[in-house]
Amino acid sequence: MLISDFTFDDDAAAAAPWEVSEPMFSPGIEGLSPHATSIIALIYDQGVLIAGDRQATMGLRIAHREMEKILPADAYSAIGVAGSAGIGLEIARLFQLELEHYEKIEGSLLSLDGKANRLAALLRRNLGLAMKGFPVIPLFAGFDLARGIGRIFSFDATGGRYEEHDFHETGSGSVFAKGALKKLWHPGLSAEQAIEIAVEALIDAADDDIGTAGPDQVRGIYPVVVTIDKQGYVRVPEEKLAGISAEILGARTEFATQARGFRQHRLSEAARIDEAEGLRTVPPDSVEEVQP
């Protein structure tokens, strides 16, 4: 067997198999595991961006408000965790060790395709738990040093690996984030534009999905947003995200105020017309009983 065929996981299994054997869970305890939600990634002109909200839910209850769902895999890639939070974070940390182990043994970085393949293998090992209600559906993004471009990979619970183009999303709020990304993404985005689009997409997801949290200006909690280009993994400062979030939410508040004023004006006009025509309007909460 070649040196490159060995992985950290294989070495650990050989030395202490009881430490890496699949844990046994009884059916019906899915409610005990927090779920991480809403991860997005998009390509921009110099690389790739990956972002996620900070909330984890347990049924209809908020389990954590400040979870870090975006983790660096190595200097040029990152993994975003959606699904069963505890198992997802464990897989992400093991994935980090796998890549570090390979780099130390081989003296070079594993290719981006190789990283995606290794993550798919780790997910395949979790299939038993996924079938018991503990799935992990990550999103993997990184900068391909050989090609000089950013790339995105999605996965399914069985370990299927799929390369995505332009943008992708996963988690319970993904359908709403996708709608925003389809409208806002375009080729040739700058890093600054990509950051603004990512924040707006997560705000859209939080607006309609109970499992996704938007920027929390009261507690000072903002999404994790990471850019990856030829310079490597860079996390966007929270101060910058706070400013972008305030601008987006301020514009939406102004629009909502204008819309509410327009609705009130229309209702007033309708009431005035009814009064001029001698019609009597009945308040919605006032219902007269019909006598038999």
Structure confidence at residue 85 (pLDDT)? 87
Range of the domain at 188: 7-236
> Quick one: which of 181, 185, 199 has its CA closest to 240?
199
Which of 7, 37, 57, 212 is catalytic? The answer is: 37
> Which phi-psi region, left, alpha or beta, contains residue 11 (left: φ > 0; alpha: ψ -120 to 50)?
alpha
> Quick one: which of 83, 102, 1, 92 has its CA closest to 36?
83
**287 inside domain:** no
Q: What is the pLDDT of residues 207-226, one digit of tens each?
A: 999 889 999 999 999 999 99
Residue 24: count of CB within 10 angstroms of its CB: 8
Q: What is the pLDDT of residues 154-189, one digit of tens each?
A: 999 999 999 999 999 999 899 999 999 999 999 999
Structure confidence at residue 226 (pLDDT)? 98
What pTM was computed for the model?
Answer: 0.81
> Quick one: which of 155, 101, 93 has its CA closest to 127?
155
**223 inside domain:** yes
Please count the CA atoms within 13 angstroms of the CA of 190 that sit on its side-chain side: 2
Residue 149, amino acid: I
**271 inside domain:** no
CA–CA separation, 215 and 198 (whole Å):
12
Coil, strand, or helix at residue 121?
helix
What is the domain-level CATH number for residue 217? 3.60.20.10
Grade residue 23 by pLDDT with cuts at 50, 70 and 90: very low
**206 inside domain:** yes
The answer to whether 170 is a known catalytic residue is: no
Six-digit token string for 28: 């019906």
Mean residue pLDDT of the chain comes to: 86
> How many domains does the structure of the chain reveal?
1
